[in-house]
């Protein structure tokens, strides 16, 4: 591969958000979503207002233009486009036309994800969301509607955000069984349905937007063995197989790895597939979107290990997640900050699939404080982004096809468990979990820093 020392001129500098985490606008024709049902009882910031992007659309796009991003990765609120999961809302479509047009007028490429954890609650009530095969058709129908409606304006798309998290047990996904075995059974069945839905959508995409590109978005798992003990090495391989390759292998190769197939069959977890599905298996994406926050370290599982406090996807009979003394953790980055992991992970993915890649999420959570003078000095975030962008440059320099970098997140969003106590944005949203206040936008120090990075097409030494 050719060695270069700078980002290509057409590198897609960008920023990301997701609909249910920023839009709000609940009373503006949006249907009830699975996310609304989860958060209302929890006492955290609910999604009725979120970051109120719905009412700040013009202002937010003006800020994006000032920042200079080339691409904006967002997601469509399925419940805004199809409030009851069946019928299309013209009002919902209009909102996205407005957003897309404002982006295009600002020379920013719209990059929507069709499914970012959110769907009409009606589909959960009716058939349990992706637990059911019916959801494959519901998703395909929704995808076709979006492709037809926006395909003449939007040329870069993503199918599903992070299957790993989107199938995890929890009320949001419809995987609500209490029994751990049934939870896992659901997880793999849901995951298969998502893969099939993705493949059917890609088949439709090829007909409807032949000049477009569509990608799969993975929660990249960079997994280190805790020691050089052969069983720890094996545990790390198994972990990667279970929480990364399983999703990517199916998406790109149309099949699970041999080890993973054996694991699923042995545990009686292999999903139900129909013979007719096979005709879709070779519809693979054009690129891989990579979400990366931190690496993770595992060892072989011992008999009385208790992993019940871990996020659901890190609970497994095949490995135990442990601390890594070489990696520094912070208040919100429990798995630590590991920019080397970004490089290691990208390299592994490319060498396995040889597809172009784009960073779809990478960012630093912090409880930001507004200073007396009204500024937000988030140097910790600048440090994090800098380290990771440098690793992207190393990767690109070695000739790998990394086509862009979308940091998470453009503005503060409702984070999944901590709401607005935990912030990722370049733009501060003035609200708390309890009080939506005015949601006034304030540019953080990192906004100005990233603006320079984009202007200089890299970090000035
Ligand atoms: C990713 C998701 O998994 O991580 C985002 O795609 C999410 O939607 C982000 O917000 C950060 O996670 P959290 O839990 O801090 O909000």
pLDDT tens over the chain, length 461 residues: 555 678 999 999 999 999 999 999 998 999 999 988 865 445 566 788 999 999 999 999 999 999 999 999 999 999 999 999 999 999 999 999 999 999 999 999 999 999 999 999 999 999 999 999 999 999 999 999 999 999 999 999 999 999 988 888 877 777 888 888 898 899 999 999 999 999 999 999 999 999 999 999 999 999 999 999 999 999 999 999 999 999 999 999 999 999 999 999 999 999 999 999 999 999 999 999 999 999 999 999 998 999 888 887 888 889 999 999 999 988 888 888 999 999 999 999 999 999 999 999 999 999 999 999 999 999 999 999 999 999 999 999 999 999 999 999 999 999 987 889 999 999 999 999 989 999 999 999 999 999 999 999 998 76
CA of 186 to the centre of ligand 1 (A): 22
- Pairing mode of beta strands 71-75, 12-16: parallel
Structure-token pair, residue 69: 């991003």
Cβ neighbors of 423 (< 8 A, separation 6 or more) are 365, 366, 367, 368, 412, 415
Report the alpha-carbon distance of residue 85 to residue 120 in Å, rounded: 5
Three-class SS of residue 52?
coil
- Pairing mode of beta strands 156-161, 213-219: parallel
Ligand 1: which of 361, 407, 414 to mutate, judged by most atoms within 8 Å of the beta carbon? 361
Three-class SS of residue 43?
coil
Cβ neighbors of 263 (< 8 A, separation 6 or more) are 238, 241, 242, 269, 318
Q: From the CB of residue 222, how many other CB atoms can be counted at a distance below 10 Å?
A: 22
- Pocket flag, ligand 1, residue 283 (CB < 6 Å): no
- Pocket flag, ligand 1, residue 277 (CB < 6 Å): no
Which residue in 113, 57, 35, 31 sits closest to 415, CA to CA? Answer: 35
- Pocket flag, ligand 1, residue 422 (CB < 6 Å): yes
DSSP codes joined into one string, 148-166: HHHTTT--EEEEEE-HHHH
Report the alpha-carbon distance of residue 56 to residue 62 in Å, rounded: 10
**SS3 assignment for 381-428:** HHHHHHHHHHHHHHHHHCCCCEEEEEEECCECCCECCCECCCECCCEE
- Pocket flag, ligand 1, residue 361 (CB < 6 Å): yes
* Domains of the chain as residue ranges with CATH: 12-220+335-455 (3.20.20.80)
- Pocket flag, ligand 1, residue 161 (CB < 6 Å): yes
Atom 16, ligand 1: which residue's CA is nearest? 415
Residue 415 CA: which ligand 1 atom is closest? 16
Residue 413 CA: which ligand 1 atom is closest? 10
Report the alpha-carbon distance of residue 331 to residue 326 in Å, rounded: 17
- Pocket flag, ligand 1, residue 219 (CB < 6 Å): yes
Cβ neighbors of 152 (< 8 A, separation 6 or more) are none
CA of 76 to the centre of ligand 1 (A): 16
Q: From the CB of residue 224, how many other CB atoms can be counted at a distance below 10 Å?
A: 20
Residue 162 CA: which ligand 1 atom is closest? 6
E strands in 97-207: 109-115, 156-161
Whether cis (ω within 30° of 0) applies to the bond prior to 274 is: no
Catalytic (active-site) positions: 361
């Amino acid at each position: 591969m050719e060695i270069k020392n700078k980002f290509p001129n057409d590198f897609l500098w960008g920023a990301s958000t997701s609909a249910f985490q920023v839009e709000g606008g609940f009373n503006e024709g949006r249907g009830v979503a699975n996310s609304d049902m989860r958060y209302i009882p929890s006492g955290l910031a609910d999604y009725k207002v979120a970051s109120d992007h719905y009412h700040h659309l013009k202002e937010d796009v003006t800020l994006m233009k000032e920042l200079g991003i080339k691409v904006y990765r967002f997601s469509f609120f399925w419940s805004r486009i199809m409030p009851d999961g069946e019928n299309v809302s013209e009002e919902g479509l209009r909102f996205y036309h407005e957003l897309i047009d404002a982006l295009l007028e600002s020379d920013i490429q719209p990059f929507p994800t069709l499914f970012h954890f959110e769907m009409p609650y009606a589909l959960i009530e009716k058939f349990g969301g992706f637990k059911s095969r019916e959801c494959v058709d519901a998703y395909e129908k929704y995808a076709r509607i979006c492709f037809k409606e926006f395909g003449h304006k939007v040329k870069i798309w993503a199918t599903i955000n992070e299957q790993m998290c989107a199938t995890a047990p929890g009320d949001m996904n419809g995987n609500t069984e209490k029994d751990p075995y049934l939870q896992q059974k659901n997880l793999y069945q849901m995951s298969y349905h998502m893969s099939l839905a993705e493949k059917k959508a890609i088949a439709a995409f090829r007909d409807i937007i032949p000049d477009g590109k569509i990608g799969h978005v993975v929660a990249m798992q960079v997994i280190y063995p805790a020691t050089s003990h052969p069983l720890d090495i094996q545990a790390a391989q198994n972990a990667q197989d279970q929480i990364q390759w399983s999703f990517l292998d199916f998406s790109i190769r149309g099949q699970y790895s041999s080890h993973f197939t054996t694991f699923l069959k042995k545990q009686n977890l292999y999903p139900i597939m129909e013979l007719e599905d096979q005709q879709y298996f070779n519809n693979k994406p054009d690129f891989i979107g990579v979400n990366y926050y931190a690496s993770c370290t595992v060892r072989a599982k011992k008999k009385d290990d208790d992993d019940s406090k871990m996020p659901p996807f890190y609970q497994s009979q095949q490995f135990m997640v442990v601390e890594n003394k070489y990696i520094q953790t912070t208040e919100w980055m429990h798995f630590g900050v590991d920019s080397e992991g970004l490089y290691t992970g990208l390299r592994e993915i490319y060498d396995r699939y040889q597809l172009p890649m784009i960073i779809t999420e990478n960012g630093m959570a912090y409880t930001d404080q507004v200073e007396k003078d009204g500024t937000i000095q988030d140097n910790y975030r600048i440090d994090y982004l800098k380290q990771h962008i440098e690793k992207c440059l190393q990767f690109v320099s070695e000739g790998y096809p990394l086509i862009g970098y979308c940091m998470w997140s453009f503005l503060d969003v409702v984070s999944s468990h901590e709401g607005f106590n935990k912030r990722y944005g370049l733009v501060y949203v003035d609200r708390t979990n309890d009080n939506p206040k005015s949601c006034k936008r304030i540019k953080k120090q990192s906004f100005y820093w990233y603006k320079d990075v984009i202007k200089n097409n890299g970090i000035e030494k």
